[in-house]
Structure 1
Amino acid sequence: MTVATITVATFLAGVSHAQQVLRVTTIPEEAATEQMRKFGPLTKYLEQAVGMKVSFVPVNDYPAAVEALVNKQVDLVWFGGFTYVQAQIRSGGKIVPIAQREEDTKFRSVFITQKNSGITRLADLKGKQVSFGSQSSTSGHLMPRSFLLEAGLDPDRDFKRVAYSGAHDATIASVVSGRVDAAALDITVWQKFVNEKKVDTSKVDVFYTTPPYFNYNWSVNADMPVELRDKITKALLALDMNTPEGKEILTLNRASKYIPTTPDNYKGLESAGRSAGLIK
């Protein structure tokens, strides 16, 4: 075999290999090391269930996760409800939500503050420094902002300063350190920090919990072959807390189980985004 032939064969093998890799990413709602820890066991599980190599591809921010799926640079994304809506709009309706956690049917955000801050209700935030997470976060920005507006508070007008931490763990840190007076974040991340004793609730705690709303999901591009989409969906729905593997994956993903979902579940988030001026 000539060198040229070997080169071409190697190239073609590489192309074939690339087509057999399922690329997965997630909105970076926590530190990169935590994202890798959280989704590592799931990628191994999907490799066995789908029969393909699975590669976890971290992205730098929430908009990058949207663009990655819209442009088919990745195949499967863990979106927040709002980033799913953004991807759906950006793609012209080509994003398909396939599964969500049962917890995502009645999701909530929490507002936290230092115990000595004097803040006990949303109205007390007037004139204060308040942090959200990423500007594209559902639980760390969109829905907290939406409920603030419903309560008659406009963050851009009524707060002394609005900050964006970029991630839920950084949001908690901003309150603990006193960089801001209060902040809003994902209730499950807060509960994880409390359960793991990473935050002292005698010093920092929740003073307001929002009403429920739909949130996160796993989504694919509509151009993915239906057979592959169905395999991934079936694998996610099959995860069971009664098996060691299922328990590990679901616990890491702060889920009791995955259930089917549809685009209609996120129409309320799109309406909230338009009302809050976050979708033009």
Structure 2
Amino acid sequence: MRKSASCCLLIALLFLLPTACTNNPTPSTPTLQPTSTESPQEHFIVFGDISDDPAEVIEGTQPIADYVAAQLADYGITGGQVKVAASTEEMIELLKSGEVDLYFDSTYPATLISDASGAQIILRRWRFGVETYNSVIFASKSSGITDVEGLKGKMIAMDAPYSTSGFMLPAVYLTENGLKLVGKPDGSAPIGSDEIGFAFAYDDENILQWVLSGITPAGVTDDYHFDKSFPPEATAQLVELARTESTPRQVGLARAGLEPELLQAIIQTLITMHEDPNNQTILDKFQTTRFDKFPEGIEAATGRIREMMEIVKDIPLP
């Protein structure tokens, strides 16, 4: 009887042991989680431009994009990039989508792009060392034209529909002086005696050649080309008819949606970078002497531009 009782006790203990081990597990070494090898999220400051030669634009713009990015590290910026659009329409979309942060252009196209994209004009760019510029209306001496009134019934060569110095400034000047401008497909199109016909040559050098060769008796260009770039033997054959008012050489746009603190840091970085001589090479590559704020304020500067835009929008284009 005692032997049977002992066997029963042993069997009971054997069944109880697994349960006891399960309820009171021995401590085990914690499993180590693998360390993440992913780099922190990159956040670039992106400069945009419009060109059919992206390599040239990137070469000139990447150094300043890198410089600005380095100054903005405290705002989470990890690097600078350059994006080149093939058209104005593409640049508008890049600014609207936030793929481009900063864009620079002359006042007329920049304001058009600002209005279409929501980007804001923030400062002036002294391109080629020039803070402002104007347009020169000129004619060949052989044409016999000596003033803008003499352009009635004649053709004048202009640059392009969205050019500041090659269309907007001279068009506004002539219109505000009571002259009527009408776009023509080419230099041989018929012109009314009370109007001035104009056609686009799409380059300042082309305009000069049109006038010298007699395709059109008159043309327009900016003051830099007329005073310094055109060969002296060419300008000796020209007569200056008028100079227009001045406008900023170029302006900078910042896309909508940039954090206010980041935007102010960008502006401060740009307007002070010329103070350090070590930045001269970077500025030279970007064809810029310095950036600054509008002396008369942004509203005053852009207000006149918008007045001029209202005038040219009613001029029939070729």
Matched ranges for 1:48-63 at <5 A: 48-51=67-70, 52-60=79-87, 62=88
Please report how far the alpha carbon of residue 77 of structure 1 lies from its aligned counterpart in structure 2 after TM superposition.
1.3
| Structure 2 stretches lacking a partner, 5+ long | 1-37, 71-78, 183-191
> TM-score of the superposition, structure 2-length normalised?
0.65
> TM-score of the superposition, structure 1-length normalised?
0.73
Give the Cα–Cα distance (whole angstroms) in 2 for the partners of residues 190 and 65 of structure 1.
Answer: 30
Give the Cα–Cα distance (whole angstroms) in 1 for the partners of residues 225 and 285 of structure 2.
Answer: 12
Matched ranges for 1:23-34 at <5 A: 23-26=47-50
Give the Cα–Cα distance (whole angstroms) in 1 for the partners of residues 214 and 282 of structure 2.
Answer: 35
| Cα separation, partners in 2 of 1:212 and 1:87, compared to 1, 3 Å | same
Matched ranges for 1:126-205 at <5 A: 126-156=152-182, 158-159=194-195, 161-194=197-230, 197=231, 200-204=234-238
1:47 is matched with which residue? 66
Please report how far the alpha carbon of residue 218 of structure 1 lies from its aligned counterpart in structure 2 after TM superposition.
0.9
Give the Cα–Cα distance (whole angstroms) in 1 for the partners of residues 63 and 95 of structure 2.
Answer: 21
User: Whose Rg is larger?
Assistant: 2
**Partners of 1:67 and 1:87 within 8 A in 2:** no
CA RMSD of aligned residues (A): 3.7
Please report how far the alpha carbon of residue 155 of structure 1 lies from its aligned counterpart in structure 2 after TM superposition.
1.1
**Partners of 2:134 and 2:223 within 8 A in 1:** yes
Give the Cα–Cα distance (whole angstroms) in 2 for the partners of residues 80 and 121 of structure 1.
Answer: 27
**Partners of 2:46 and 2:99 within 8 A in 1:** no
Give the Cα–Cα distance (whole angstroms) in 1 for the partners of residues 196 and 280 of structure 2.
Answer: 46
1:77 is matched with which residue? 103
Aligned residue pairs, count: 256
- Write the deviation string for residues 156-199 of structure 1: whole angstroms up to 9, x where unpaired: 164463212334444344334433222223323444523xx497
Give the Cα–Cα distance (whole angstroms) in 2 for the partners of residues 267 and 198 of structure 1.
Answer: 37
2:245 matches 1:218:
no
| Structure 1 stretches lacking a partner, 5+ long | 1-11
Give the Cα–Cα distance (whole angstroms) in 2 for the partners of residues 105 and 237 of structure 1.
Answer: 13
Q: Which of 260, 264, 268 does residue 293 from structure 2 map onto?
A: 260
| Cα separation, partners in 2 of 1:68 and 1:129, compared to 1, 3 Å | farther
Give the Cα–Cα distance (whole angstroms) in 2 for the partners of residues 43 and 205 of structure 1.
Answer: 42
Matched ranges for 1:109-128 at <5 A: 109-128=135-154
State the AA in 2 paired with 1:139.
S
